[in-house]
Amino acid sequence: MHPSSSRRDFLFQGGLGFGTLALGDMLHAEDIDPRSQDPLAARAPHFPATAKNVIFLFMQGGASHLETFDNKPILTKYDGQLLPESLQDFDLAQINTADAKVMASQFPFDKYGDSGVEISRLFPHLSQHADKLAIIRSMHHELFIHGSAMIMMHSGTSLLGHPSVGAWVVYGLGCESDNLPAYIAMTDGIFRNGASMYSSGFLPAVYQGVDMRAEGVPIQNLQRQSDITAGEQRLLLDQINAWNREHRQTRPGDSRLAARIANYELAFRMQTAAPELIDLSGETEATRKLYGIDDEPSARFGKMCLMSRRMVERGVRYVQLICGGWDAHGDCKGNHQSQAAKIDQPIAGLIADLEQRGMLNDTLLVWVGEFGRTPIRQGTNGRDHHPYGFSAWLAGGGVAGGKTIGATDDFGFNAVEDKVHVNDLHATMLGLMGLDHEQLTYHFEGRDRRLTDVGGENNLAQRLLQA
Amino acid sequence: MIRKFQQFLVVMFVSFLPTVVCAVDDDLLWSLRTSTRPDPPPFESLKHGQQVRNAVDQFVLNRLEEASLEPAPHAARRTLVRRAYFDLIGLPPSPEQVDAFMEDESPDAWPRLIDSLLESKHYGERWGRHWLDVARYADSGGYETDIYYRNAWRYRDYVIKSFNDDKPYDVFVQEQIAGDELWPDNLDLDPRRVYIIPEKKQRHLEARIATGFYALGPRVHESALDAKRLAYETMTDWVDATASAFMGLTLGCSRCHDHKFDPFTQEDYFALHAIFASAREVELPLWNAMGEADWRQSYPRVLAVEEARKAYRLFEAKTAGQTLSPEQQTRKQELLAAIGQAVLALPEQTGGQATIPYDGLMHIPTASILGREHPALIRTVHLLERGELQKPGKPIQSALPVSLAIATQTPADLADPFTARKRFALWLTKKDHPLTARVMVNRIWHWHFGRGIVETPNDFGNMGQPPSHPELLDWLSTRFVDGGWKIKDLHRLIMNSATYRRSSRFGDERALVKDPDNRLLWRMNRRRLEGEAIWDSVHSAAGTINLAMGGPPVAPPLAGDEIASLREKWHWVVSADPAQHTRRGVYLLVRRNFQFPIFEVFDAPVTAVSCPVRDVTTVATQALWGLNNHSVFRQAMQMAGRIVTEAGDDRTAQIDRAWRIALGRPPTDDEAESSLLLLEDLETETAMPLKNPPETLKSVSPVRAQALTKLCLALFNLSEFAFVD
């Protein structure tokens, strides 16, 4: 029944990114099979997937590829000199390419693991997992200001109003949690682009990410008013449900009314489930240590990483963690040193923890910022925004690590070899999740929209799976 | 090639009009053909002919009978009165207003109710808000920094006033697209009239403010860093918003290639860019020479603030790192107080009899509107290969989309840049334009029924949905135009039909199977209230709603968990006056990057592009809001206080009053009994007294007060509270 394709009907059911198994109990026979209508019901991928969940590690502000994963010794040689003329006419945000001077990488690189991939000394913990990382050194797009570039990295276009990657993934695969959102975003500071970082855009609002906080009340309105006791709330809820059921019984053929009753129960359950999720008191000392939770400056991001493991364990499909502060216009060295210290042990701990629990194979980790940073100097020792060539890495979710893909030119300026556009990265992520980026479409404003717009040709998924 | 051929046709139709038009017409999209007024199916031929109230019913019943579907009976009067209030003014009827309608047994009680609601000033707030969805209205620019639009609200108030004035829709369109070109009078206000703006100039001023439609789109802060791209994105916003809002067309795809499904080429698209290339955003001062003189006279007071601040900064620098001595502490307080005094000495209004408040700290009141770009600065618009800025092709002149020019028998060319917008607006509002009236009539229908005759109100192209009742749409559209584009007439026509008055609770098995989406309107659609209407309802029930109209946007206080995702605290500067916190939803601050939490939870439109249809989701965060939100609880206390004031301390009377206020009806016997049981269960010895009860609740015992509050909270959470039958 109800084979409707209309957008509105599609939205009548469902929770806040919850699978609605419990909905079945609430529904009466007249009210359709819940799973056929639930927009968040877990769905089979287009083809067999290696990754079931994603943890997207976003380095907000733009981490320098030249200080992290893209070793360019020539920068040391040309330190203080002008760029070659061929690179002098590219627009950048704040500096003039023609008269700015090259700046050497601020950190030495070493080879790590059996594979010997090069990583800078910024990441002593993470580099121990070098053989699990697939590093892309040829990321690129053309937007050199934060606002547009972050929209690009999260939604595949430079314009507001498009769904974020997580929204597309949940739209494609649904949710496996009964009482937690399918898509959770968490930041160590602020969402620099506001809700557009986890927006459902033109997709139905059920696919929107929920911004959850690592401390205090994790989700808006999760806590009872202090004037109401737990017992009173249960009493009220039972009465509300009873009245709402009566209301529904005299109004046939409106599935929203049943969904509403189910959602009151879901909300009630979430009041327990969400605080339990962020409560780390049950984790062992060893686990806390692994993530660097009891040390500064890794404590905050360490907690977020540990929570993200707990989310994935509980069936959350897409987790987005944001680490702010990478916008190193001045003192690139000092900035990146303290930034890396915030995330190095936490991310390494996350990889190790997922692995020891047998979850790494199902969970795809993606590390990237909205752009890299210029090979040329800004001010005395900073670097400006740089979208024409930068780095990202993927791990877990079936990705065979210990490899690098693509390359920038000698100066780390333009991606030149095996170029990977943001649309390609997104196509790759979907591919590892078993979703064909050309088939995952939603009709909006006159055409079938895709996360990858008209791009995504360089889908790396198959290559990443091969050792 | 195609374009050449079309231009050829344009030339041809002048001399060979009938043949050419017919030739084109055969393949023409339905929505691009001029409407002719069809005759309604005669009611003698209808089985349910006796139900017909007006022609709307003839069209609808005809389709129902063809499909052998039984129409629902009329809704109960009590249902109708609530439906009409929410539909037309977005506020619940008070128990007295419900009673007045229930007791009015005259045959014209219903049409009179509609007339009185259309006369209410709250009508414009309700229907203006609908239009603001279409206009992608927001008070900020979105993207990273979400820059603040100080005066976008003047456009919001313009929209509300236009609906209240029943401004003909053709004029409404003309004003927004080309108010500056069509109402170009010199607005320099006559200083001899002191502060009063003469009526004729008011008219021109209003038309100019209308072009604020273009000034409130999304905008990147760092635009100076990437000026060419950002100018291009702005132009794209302008053209896409114009096409979506006024033409019901989604032209966005044509930016990159010829439209695959509709008769629009990439060249058509950039020709629309060219129409707007000669415009730019300007700030229009909204006062006269006397006001400005007042401002200049008082300007030294601004300097005084600046100097007081400098004095404090100097002190701060001098004492940096020191522990302040008692004398220094005193000095610091004096300096801070001096800043405060200087700020308080700033005038808040111009002088004279009719005073105009300054915008902020002595900022001249302005509106952001469209004006003319300096001729030397007008960018040449190029056709861009794949829509990419780096790949400019040939230059493009302003022109109408060729297929539409042909369909409307108008030359496409609009070469003179300084009349292009004006001519475009006049062309759009030609009486026989195939799109303009149809698109608006369909929007009105959509907002009445929850679904348009065309389900995709912003897409009348081949990728949109075809109309469910094409003849009805054409009949309404032609009648709309012939009657002078009056929207209120359309409301009367629609709401006086039997179709509008049907019950939504009818559950005919056959109809549920055959037409589960109710496309043929065998019953009324049940509507979930929008976030704004829920906000307004909660405050109406509590008796706290502040029905003041217009003015700068209001920011009510937020709880800690609500502001956590705010980029910086300055993005939500809480309005100081508590009376402002309970204004209607339409007046609350609309930030592109941070939606007011309750609106976000109840599917507020994404303001990036025109929003023709709001989502209606049912999600758990809505339940969390209703159960736990701080402002909902406060309003529940206020409502309990109101009930005590109006019904005294008698529980039966309280329960009766509570249900009437919340739902517009008395409780059934069962509901009254379960309410009483609930109160008794809550009135335990150990119940905590409310921490901050309102004065009105202090006349009953604390145990009673908390129980009654919780009953009110339960009522706010009823499906019946959030849905309109």
Number of H helices, E strands in chain B: 28, 6
> Between chains, do A227 and B691 touch, taking CB under 8 Å as contact?
yes
Q: Does A97 touch chain B (CB under 8 A)?
A: no
Hey, which residues does B363 pair with through a beta bridge?
Answer: B359
* Residue appearing with tokens 């002078």: B484
Contact A464, A399 (CB under 8 A): yes
Contact B438, B469 (CB under 8 A): no
CA B248 and chain centroid, separation:
17
> Alpha-carbon distance B201 to B188, whole Å?
9
> Between chains, do B592 and A213 touch, taking CB under 8 Å as contact?
no
Extract the runs of DSSP E, i.e. beta strands, from A379-436.
Answer: 382-386, 390-396, 403-405, 407-408, 415-417, 420-421
Nearest to A116 by CA among A133, A99, A103, A101: A133
* Residue appearing with tokens 């060295």: A333
Residue A251 belongs to a domain: no
Residue A6 belongs to a domain: no
The enclosing domain of A99 has a CATH number of 3.40.720.10
B656-691 as b/e: b if 16+ CB within 10 A: bbbbbbbbbbbbeeebbebbbebbebbbeeebeebe
Q: Does A16 touch chain B (CB under 8 A)?
A: yes
- Write the burial class of residue B33 (CB in 10 Å: 0-12 exposed, 13-18 middle, 19+ buried): middle
Distance from the A276 Cα atom to the nearest Cα atom in chain B, whole angstroms:
17
Q: Count other Cβ atoms within 10 Å, centred on residue B362.
A: 16
Q: Does A18 touch chain B (CB under 8 A)?
A: yes
> Which backbone phi and psi does B284 adopt, to 5 degrees?
-100, 115
Q: What is the pLDDT of residue A1?
A: 27
Name, in order, each residue with C-beta under 8 angstroms of B53's C-beta and a sequence gap of 6 or more. Answer: B496, B497, B498, B501
- What are the tokens at B557? 């206080």
Q: What is the pLDDT of residue B19?
A: 32
Largest CA distance in chain A: 80
Distance from the B397 Cα atom to the nearest Cα atom in chain A, whole angstroms:
26
* Chain B interface mutation, best of A5, A211, A260, highest count of B Cβ atoms under 10 Å: A260
Contact B534, B625 (CB under 8 A): no
End-to-end alpha-carbon separation of chain A, Å? 47
DSSP 8-state class, residue A82? B
Calculate the alpha carbon distances from B488 to B71, B119, B166, B501 in Å. Answer: 26, 10, 6, 18
Contact B269, B255 (CB under 8 A): yes
Give the pLDDT band (50/70/90) at residue B528. Answer: very high
Residue type at A195 in one-letter notation: A
> Alpha-carbon distance B649 to B700, whole Å?
7
Q: What is the pLDDT of residue B18?
A: 34
> Alpha-carbon distance B442 to B494, whole Å?
12
Q: Does A270 touch chain B (CB under 8 A)?
A: yes
Nearest to B579 by CA among B556, B562, B597: B556
CB half-sphere exposure, A114, CA atoms < 13 A: 5
Residue A49 belongs to a domain: yes
Q: Does A235 touch chain B (CB under 8 A)?
A: yes
Name, in order, each residue with C-beta under 8 angstroms of B699's C-beta and a sequence gap of 6 or more. Answer: B644, B649
Nearest to A201 among B565, B606, B725 (CB): B606
Contact A394, A359 (CB under 8 A): no
* Chain A interface mutation, best of B386, B465, B618, B710, highest count of A Cβ atoms under 10 Å: B618
A 133-152 residues with CB < 8 A to B: 143-148, 150-151
Contact A321, A57 (CB under 8 A): yes
Q: Does A36 touch chain B (CB under 8 A)?
A: no
- What are the tokens at B325? 């001595």
CA A270 and chain centroid, separation:
22
Q: Which residue of B has its CA nearest to A147?
A: B144
Nearest to A223 among B220, B244, B628 (CB): B628
Residue A218 belongs to a domain: no
pLDDT at B15 over 70: no
Nearest to A220 among B220, B253, B597 (CB): B597
| Chain B residues touching A256 at Cβ < 8 A | 528, 616, 618, 723
Q: Which residue of A has its CA nearest to B224?
A: A93
> Between chains, do B621 and A443 touch, taking CB under 8 Å as contact?
no
> Alpha-carbon distance B310 to B327, whole Å?
20
Q: Does A227 touch chain B (CB under 8 A)?
A: yes
Instruction: Note the pLDDT tens digit of each residue in B566-576.
Output: 878 899 999 99
> Could you say which residues of chain A have pLDDT below 70?
1-37
| Chain B residues touching A250 at Cβ < 8 A | 505
Residue A390 belongs to a domain: yes
A367's enclosing H/E stretch is: strand A363-369
Residue A7 belongs to a domain: no
- What are the tokens at B269? 């698209």
Q: Which residue of A has its CA nearest to B244?
A: A445
Distance from the B30 Cα atom to the nearest Cα atom in chain A, whole angstroms:
16
| Chain B residues touching A204 at Cβ < 8 A | 615, 617
* Chain A interface mutation, best of B565, B571, B625, B684, highest count of A Cβ atoms under 10 Å: B565
* Chain B interface mutation, best of A193, A220, A233, A454, highest count of B Cβ atoms under 10 Å: A220
Q: Does A188 touch chain B (CB under 8 A)?
A: no
Here the ipTM equals: 0.92
* Chain B interface mutation, best of A227, A237, A261, A269, highest count of B Cβ atoms under 10 Å: A227
Inter-helix orientation angle B630-647/B620-628, to 10°: 50
Q: Count other Cβ atoms within 10 Å, centred on residue B105.
A: 7
> Alpha-carbon distance B417 to B420, whole Å?
5
Q: How many domains does chain A have?
A: 1
Of B87-91, B120-124, B161-165, B614-618, the range with the lowest mean pLDDT is B614-618
> Between chains, do A236 and B513 touch, taking CB under 8 Å as contact?
no
Q: Does A21 touch chain B (CB under 8 A)?
A: no
| Chain A residues touching B591 at Cβ < 8 A | 194
B 122-181 residues with CB < 8 A to A: 142-146
Share of chain B above pLDDT 70, in %: 94
Distance from the A109 Cα atom to the nearest Cα atom in chain B, whole angstroms:
33
Residue A4 belongs to a domain: no
Q: What is the pLDDT of residue A28?
A: 37
CA A211 and chain centroid, separation:
12
Instruction: Note the pLDDT tens digit of each residue in B696-718.
Output: 999 999 999 999 999 999 999 99
CA angle B590, B595, B597 (to 5 degrees): 125
> Alpha-carbon distance B593 to B602, whole Å?
16
Residue type at B210 in one-letter notation: A
Pairing mode, strands A318-323 and A53-59: parallel
Q: Which residue of A has its CA nearest to B632?
A: A225
Share of chain B above pLDDT 90, in %: 71
> Alpha-carbon distance B79 to B725, whole Å?
7
pTM value? 0.86
**Where in the sequence is the domain holding A406, given as residue range(s)?**
42-212+280-465
Q: Does A189 touch chain B (CB under 8 A)?
A: no
Q: Does B225 touch chain A (CB under 8 A)?
A: yes
Averaged pLDDT for residues B495-502: 98
Q: Count other Cβ atoms within 10 Å, centred on residue A97.
A: 17
Name, in order, each residue with C-beta under 8 angstroms of A181's C-beta and a sequence gap of 6 or more. Answer: A16, A17, A18, A175, A209, A210, A212, A316
